[in-house]
Amino acid sequence: MNMPITPQKPAKKLSLKDNYNLLTRGLGWETSYQDMDKVFAQDKFEGIKIHDWDKWEDPFRLTMDAYWKYQGEKEKKLYAIVDAFQQNNGQFNVTDARYINTLKLFLTGVSPLEYQAHRGFAMVGRNFRGTSARIAAQMQAIDELRHAQTQAHTISHYNKFFSGLHDPTHMFDRVWYLSVPKSYFEDAMSAGPFEFITAISFSFEYVLTNLLFMPFMSGAAYNGDMATVTFGFSAQSDESRHMTLGLEVVKFILEQDPDNVPIVQKWLDKWFWRGYRLLTLVSMMMDYMLPKKVMSWAEAWEMYFEQNGGALFNDLARYGIRMPKYHEVASKEKHRLSHEAWATFYNFSHAAAFHTWVPEESEMKWLAEKYPTTFDSLYRPRFEHWREQQQKGERFSNGTLPMLCQVCQVPMFFTEPDDPTKICYRETTYRDEKFHFCSDGCKDIFGNEPEKYVQAWLPVHQIYQGNCFRPGTDPTAPGFEPLAEVLQYYGFHVGEDGGEYLGSLDARNWTQWTGKPAVAE
Amino acid sequence: MSVIALKPGYTGEMKDRVENFHGKQLLYIGWEDHLMYCAPMCIPIEGATPFGALIQAVIPSLYPAHPDTAKIDWNTVEWFRSGERFTPDPQQTLIANGLGHKANLRFRTPGLTGLKGSCS
């Protein structure tokens, strides 16, 4: 054929903005065979009113092709570094084996939350009727799954050398202190989609995440753990996207209808307090578990919450939003939180999957400097007494199970906001039964939705009900030891995973393999 | 509204009903001014236990390692039920003393304030 060839110009590539608009506006439709309210049955019962989903603006306008490209590049870099870390026996470059206990806490207490977040955002992505909101939730669901995976892959290398890292998902569903993060997230996931996204995207990712990620990642860097620093960096660009989304979500909801404001305020009050109670575990990590300390919990709280959080809530004041209730209680507690928490884990170290220890004299000096109004007067006598007992071969432990808060599930060790020597007791009666709380914050949360929290799976009560033994166990058999059986049910390697650090298998191996003392000088 | 739920009238299962504890009830015990044992204790106990047994056997066994335990003068101890001061009758049962399932019992030992007076 002799036709003249007129080559067709390929269509011009879409700009990112057009691409994003087609993805988030063009792909959705109004259903006609089924009522939209039946298709999206869960986005109205919480009382949130949305008039125009197109007002949802995703500040990153990320499209799927760009998303896969960015994430793929990050994965390649991460795994190259993790490989090099493993080949060079990087695990022996950390300060000392006490540091590994922060990884145990992270892997069993935080990584499972990444997976929970993956599930939660997948559910939210199904339940919003706005397309761009669904896309944003979908991407975050994939991010969170990636975080859970990269953390498991990175820390799995430590599992070859140290105890307590062998089965985080099994432990997460059973162990007493892990019911604190577990119940936190299940509370959010069993709420409606708007409460979930306010709780996780805003109250956690935006307001409090700096107090979780910063201490772990800077702590890793200070203590020579380059593998953890690397997965931290790999997750960080995702985190900044999540934080921005969190702020956008709350502004979108608030701008849609004035009736949304009091509902959102109630959620901010609740999820500030729940998130803050969860961070108790971080406070003791910062002040006690890092052999080389980054900053104190009190300093971190001042910088990341009182200053940054204060500015954020000033900005939200134009919507009629105020600071979360009981933020002043958190500030009063900042000089005691980590000490009370670490002392509690010292009490129950035999029932934990990580080690505890009395701080070295140099560390007590640091603690006294950082906490001049509380450490020497209230906590040093406790630690010195425990050190003396240990030197006599009578390492202290608490043989009785503690009373727990019905809402946050933390043992009731928190003290009165205005008196650090008195346990803070709060109680109420509902349907003729007594319920106990560690604070006004937790009591209010119960009071707003008692039917939810009467169902709490409190580890101590579950043990006494006989629900924490392996199948086939006979608790009436002669010589039955309930605590030993509970630890088996938890999946612990008893005698290796927890207990005192000095003299532990980890400490002995560390010295044998590295030639360095169990406690760095 | 007692819960925000999809289904109107939703109610939750009361997880810690007394019937779930195999004939016992829960009792929470806290020692004022003594925080070395970091939090109040939770114990399962029969409601028919005489209050006197708490003093003689149960409470001392919860705090074996505290140097103040042996120094307690039980005649001067102050008792609190859900934070309110009360005078228990040692001959009577826990239930007759108003200590039912999930009751909170606190005691103060005047003159004893923990390790070096630190309330530890």
Contact call for B16 and A461, based on CB within 8 A: yes
For domain A53-334, which CATH number applies: 1.20.1740.10, 1.10.1060.10, 3.40.50.720, 1.10.620.20?
1.10.620.20
Give residue limits of the domains in chain A. 53-334
* Complex ipTM more than 0.90, yes or no: yes
Contact call for A458 and B3, based on CB within 8 A: no
Minimum-distance CB partner of B62 among A46, A400, A425: A400
Q: What is the pairing mode between strands A419-423 and A415-416?
A: antiparallel
Contact call for B2 and A344, based on CB within 8 A: no
Contact call for A425 and B35, based on CB within 8 A: no
How far from each other are the two terminal CA atoms of chain B, in whole angstroms? 42
Distance between A269 CA and the closest CA of chain B, angstroms: 16
Domain B22-117 in CATH 3.10.20.560? The answer is yes
CA dihedral A87→A107→A518→A386, nearest 10 degrees, is: 180
Does B28 contact A at CB distance below 8 Å? Answer: yes
Contact call for B39 and A378, based on CB within 8 A: no
Q: Tell me the three state secondary structure of residue A57.
A: coil
Buried b (16+ CB within 10 A) or exposed e, B21-50: beebbbbbbbbbbbbbbbbbbbbbbebebb
- Nearest CA to B40 out of B62, B18, B64 is that of B62
Q: Do the Cβ atoms of A254 and A322 come closer than 8 Å?
A: no
Distance (Å, rounded) from C-alpha A294 to C-alpha A85?
23
Which residues in chain A touch residue B46, judged by CB atoms under 8 angstroms apart?
Answer: none
Contact call for B38 and A402, based on CB within 8 A: yes
Per-residue pLDDT at A6: 66
Per-residue pLDDT at A515: 97
Distance between B8 CA and the closest CA of chain A, angstroms: 10
Distance between B80 CA and the closest CA of chain A, angstroms: 12
Query: Which residues, 6 or more positions from A102, have their beta carbon under 8 angstroms from its beta carbon?
Result: A216, A219, A220, A285, A289, A290
A368: enclosing H helix or E strand:
helix A361-370
For residue A84, the number of C-alpha atoms closer than 13 Å in the C-beta half-sphere is 9
Distance (Å, rounded) from C-alpha A200 to C-alpha A198?
6
Which residues in chain B touch residue A421, judged by CB atoms under 8 angstroms apart?
Answer: 33, 35, 119
Which residues in chain A touch residue B83, judged by CB atoms under 8 angstroms apart?
Answer: 425
Walking along chain A (521 residues) 10 residues at a time, the average pLDDT comes out as 67 84 85 95 96 87 89 93 94 97 96 97 95 91 96 96 97 98 98 97 89 90 94 86 89 97 98 97 97 97 93 94 97 98 98 98 98 98 98 97 98 98 98 98 98 98 96 90 94 96 98 97 84
Give the A:B interface size as CB pairs under 8 Å. Answer: 150
Per-residue pLDDT at A460: 97
What is the Rg, in whole angstroms, of the alpha carbon atoms belonging to chain A? 25
- Convert the pLDDT of each residue in B13-49 to its tens digit: 999 999 999 999 999 999 999 999 999 999 999 999 9
Give residue limits of the domains in chain B. 22-117
Let me know the angle formed at the C-alpha of A80 by A75 and A81, rounded to the nearest 5 degrees: 105
pTM above 0.90, yes or no: yes
Q: Do the Cβ atoms of B52 and B94 come closer than 8 Å?
A: no
Query: Which residues, 6 or more positions from A424, have their beta carbon under 8 angstroms from its beta carbon?
Result: A412, A414, A415, A416, A417, A438, A439
Chain A neighbours among B 54-113 (CB < 8 Å)? 62, 64-65, 82-83, 100-104, 106
What is the rounded average pLDDT for all residues in chain B? 96
- Say yes or no to pLDDT of B7 above 80: yes
Two structure tokens written together for A488:
């088996």
Q: Tell me the three state secondary structure of residue B119.
A: coil
Which residues in chain B touch residue A193, judged by CB atoms under 8 angstroms apart?
Answer: none
Distance between B89 CA and the closest CA of chain A, angstroms: 22
Per-residue pLDDT at A28: 85
Query: Which residues, 6 or more positions from A38, have their beta carbon under 8 angstroms from its beta carbon?
Result: none
Which residues in chain A touch residue B120, judged by CB atoms under 8 angstroms apart?
Answer: 378-379, 381-382, 385
CA nearest B9 in A: which residue?
Answer: A451
User: Chain A interface, mutation test: which of B4, B31, B54, B66, most A Cβ atoms within 10 Å?
Assistant: B4
User: Chain B interface, mutation test: which of A383, A425, A428, most B Cβ atoms within 10 Å?
Assistant: A425
Distance (Å, rounded) from C-alpha A411 to C-alpha A413?
6
A454 backbone dihedrals φ, ψ, rounded to 5°: -65, -15
Two structure tokens written together for B89:
């009758």
Per-residue pLDDT at B1: 61
Contact call for A454 and B101, based on CB within 8 A: no
Distance between B75 CA and the closest CA of chain A, angstroms: 23
Could you tell me how many residues make up chain A? 521
Contact call for B30 and A425, based on CB within 8 A: yes
Locus of tokens 């954020």? A312
Minimum-distance CB partner of A434 among B5, B62, B102: B102
Contact call for B119 and A41, based on CB within 8 A: no
Minimum-distance CB partner of B115 among A381, A399, A431: A381
Which residues in chain B touch residue A382, judged by CB atoms under 8 angstroms apart?
Answer: 35-36, 115, 118, 120
Contact call for A396 and B41, based on CB within 8 A: no
